[in-house]
Structure 1
Amino acid sequence: MNIFHNIQDFNPDKHTIATLGTFDGVHLGHKKIIERLTQDAKKSNNESLVLTFFPHPRMVLQGNSEIQLLNTIKEKAELLECIGLENLIIHPFDQSFSQLSAEEFVKTILVDRFNIKKIVIGHDHRFGKNRSADIHDLIAYGKKYGFEVEQISAEEIDEVSISSTKIRKALASGDIQLANDYLGYNYFLSGIVVKGRQLGRTIGFPTANLKIEENYKLIPLDGVYIVKSDLDGKEVFGMMNIGTNPTVDGKERTIETYFLDFEGDLYDKEIRIHILHRIRPEEKFDSLHALKEEIKNDEIITRNFIKDLK
């Protein structure tokens, strides 16, 4: 897949079949749009293209917005590539770009720059200055400038109006199952393993402390989760705690994972942790012994969960 970081860098040799949006999460609804796009491009011998933006428009237009995103830019690109996309443009979104009228956007970008043949778009997409234009405006512009518009309705997306907002809310409330159902894959966190306080070692449960560089990445609700990772080419399951470790008077929020039946040095390595199930909230115990006993119980639950997967 070709990745471009500015609209001006993209110069297609053919017509394009395109779509646009933030595509945060690349969830089942997004996947349906991208699959339709890539299939049409192959059949018509045109190029498939997704135009997305970073920062997220809400980060720019709502200066105090603290929106957390489901994917980092790197994660989003990997997910789109897996669907078979040929070209991805990650354009810098700023105040100037937000002032483009709907018709300016269509004429100068879709028509003149992208050489668009067809646009595939979700049922609720809005665009242009102040998000003033909708699917009906786009169809009218298509007739004026000679490109086709295909709308994917909510009914086509498994009869459920899946949205990134709903997934964010599910993760924020700890409903990992609902989030994973909407995503069509297990939500994951990517980062570097760094040294923590190493308290887990003192109670027999050494953990990998994950540091995520992107401060906009959404971290699920504090608690204990069943997870899995690919470590040294092997699928390894584990228990992940998200929280402040209140039993030992922790102050900072951390992401710590005890991997089952794994021995190896993970420090400074980049790993990806897929979240499968939430066991319980994070709790403050009266003693380290009580904490250790609860973690033993978490391990029993985790091992039973793994058995049911096989």
Structure 2
Amino acid sequence: MTRIPVWRSVAEIPADLGATAVTIGNFDGVHRGHRAVLDQLTAVAAERALAPVALTFWPHPRHVCVMPGVPRLVTGQHERDELLGEAGLRGVLDLEFTWDFAQHSPEDFVRIFLVEALHMRCIVMGEDSRFGKDNAGDLAAMRELGTRYGFEVVTVEEYGPGAQGEGARISSSAVRAALETGDVAHAARMLGRPHRVSDVVHHGFKRGRELGFPTANLGPAPEGLVPADGVYAGYLTVTAQAPEHEGTPPLVRAPATISIGTNPTFRVDDGPAPRMVEAYVHGPQDLDLYGDTVRLEFVDRQRPTLRFDSIDELIAQMRRDKAVTVRTLEGEALGAEARD
């Protein structure tokens, strides 16, 4: 996959970019509804010989203007920009969103960042899109500004199959709701791919290794929305290796049984316990992933988190979990072949 440039400021935009077609959004999750907009953008840009560019923001505007951390985001900044890069764009302008930035009037926002910085000749936007201070800018305002500054406005709906049915609206909030209940399969249908979570592998309590199921443990705040507690079938990919592991072929989409929860079997009191994300990789048991950055993909939820009365019962359940993961991933692979 060719990586496209991500510009963090207008100063980084190359002088030879040329005239552009632009779409604007937060693109949290880069779900199939977003992809419909991005596909429309690239088609419109090709018809008009323009460079297709997405303009987005970080942090999420609501985290700055309303409440930090609300809503929980489906994807982190790096993952979001990487997914945008898979949509056939010429580049992504990812601007830092601050309170001062939010004070730009609709006209100033369009003039400074779209017309002057990106040399925009066409904008692709949803009919309910808003922009500028207090979200005062709407479709009618954009059309008026297009007449004033010489750009075209093309509207598109954020629709796509896979939510509640053919043609149902897909939204970041719907994806978020599915993940928060553990329905990662439904989330995947809306995303068009399995949901992903990434982090550096941390040292854990090493209980899994002692039980014969060594796990890769993520930190307390991985990138991406962590689904509801439970056991999942999925995959693990090493996306960046620790310096001491360079030269060793990295794991790529290795089958994994993923556990999320507070390890209730090992609880000795009712006080707060850390929430853990652990992945048992099927295959070699002597893997050293400490310090590597890994990506977990969630295919399906197998069961809720349970407390067992003995270690033997836990080990027996872990063996069953592994078997279920194998069957689930075999079915997922057959389904992917059928779709191809």
Structure 2 counterpart of 1:184, which letter?
G
Which letter does structure 2 place at the counterpart of 1:238? A
Alignment map for 1:188-267 (pairs within 5 Å): 188-211=196-219, 217-230=224-237, 232-249=250-267, 251-263=273-285, 264-267=287-290
CA contact (8 A) 2:231 2:257 kept: yes
Q: Give structure 2 stretches of 5+ with no counterpart.
A: 239-249, 335-340
User: What is the CA–CA distance in structure 2 between the aligned matches of 1:287 and 1:141, rounded to whole Å?
Assistant: 68
| Mean Cα deviation higher: 49-58 or 4-13 | 4-13
Is 2:52 the partner of 1:48? yes
Native 8 Å contact 2:184 2:300 kept in 1: yes
Asked if structure 1 preserves the Cα contact closer than 8 Å seen for 2:7 and 2:93, the reply is yes
Q: CA deviation at 1:87?
A: 1.2
Aligned to 2:39: 35
Please tell me whether the aligned partners of residues 191 and 212 of structure 1 are also in contact (alpha carbons under 8 angstroms). Answer: no
Kindly indicate whether the alpha-carbon contact (under 8 Å) linking 1:123 and 1:154 is maintained by their aligned counterparts in 2: no
Q: Write out aligned runs for 1:173-188 (5 A).
A: 173-188=181-196
> What displacement does 1:233 show?
4.7
Q: Which residue of 1 aligns with 2:100?
A: 96
- Residue type at the aligned position of 2:192: G
Task: Identify if the C-alpha distance between structure 1 residues 291 and 233 changes in structure 2 by more than 3 Å, giving closer, same or farther.
Answer: closer
Cα distance between partner residues in 2 of 1:234 and 1:15: 38
Give the 3 Å change call, closer, same or farther, for CA 262–43 of structure 1 in structure 2: farther
Cα offsets for 1:223-272 (capped at 9, x unmatched): 10001123535442111001110110182111111111234221211111
- TM-score, length-normalised on structure 2? 0.85
* 2:84 is the alignment partner of 1:80: yes
Tell me what 1:143 maps to: 147
State the 1:65 CA deviation: 4.2
- Deviation digits for residues 141-190 of structure 1, max 9, x if unmatched? 21222111111124567622111111111101111111111101110111
Judge conservation of contact 2:34–2:158 (CA < 8 Å) in 1: no
Which residue pairs with 1:305 in the alignment?
A: 328
CA distance in 2, matches of 1:50, 1:154: 15
Residue 27 (structure 2) pairs with residue 4 (structure 1): no
Count of residues paired in the alignment? 309
Structure 1 CA distance for aligned equivalents of residues 41 and 183 of structure 2: 31
The structure richer in strand per residue is 1
**Match for residue 162 of structure 1?**
170
**Does structure 1 retain, via aligned residues, the 8 Å contact 2:160–2:170?**
no
Distance, in Å, in 2 between the alignment partners of 1:53 and 1:68 is: 15
Is the 8 Å Cα contact of residues 227 and 238 (structure 1) preserved in structure 2? yes
Identify if the C-alpha distance between structure 1 residues 307 and 112 changes in structure 2 by more than 3 Å, giving closer, same or farther: closer
> Aligned partner of 2:49: which letter?
N
SS at structure 1 position matched to 2:92: strand
One-letter amino acid of the structure 2 residue matched with residue 247 of structure 1: T
CA contact (8 A) 1:238 1:260 kept: yes
> SS at the partner of 2:201?
strand
Correspondence for 2:66 = 62
Greater CA deviation, 239-248 or 283-292?
Answer: 283-292
Q: Using the alignment, how far apart are the partners of 1:42 and 1:199 within structure 2?
A: 55
Task: Please say if residues 126 and 156 of structure 2, whose CA atoms lie closer than 8 Å, have aligned partners that are also in contact.
Answer: yes
* C-alpha RMSD over aligned residues: 2.0
TM-score by length of 1: 0.93
Q: Which moved more, 1:249-258 or 1:189-198?
A: 249-258
Report the alpha carbon displacement of residue 36 of structure 1 after superposing the two structures with TM.
2.0
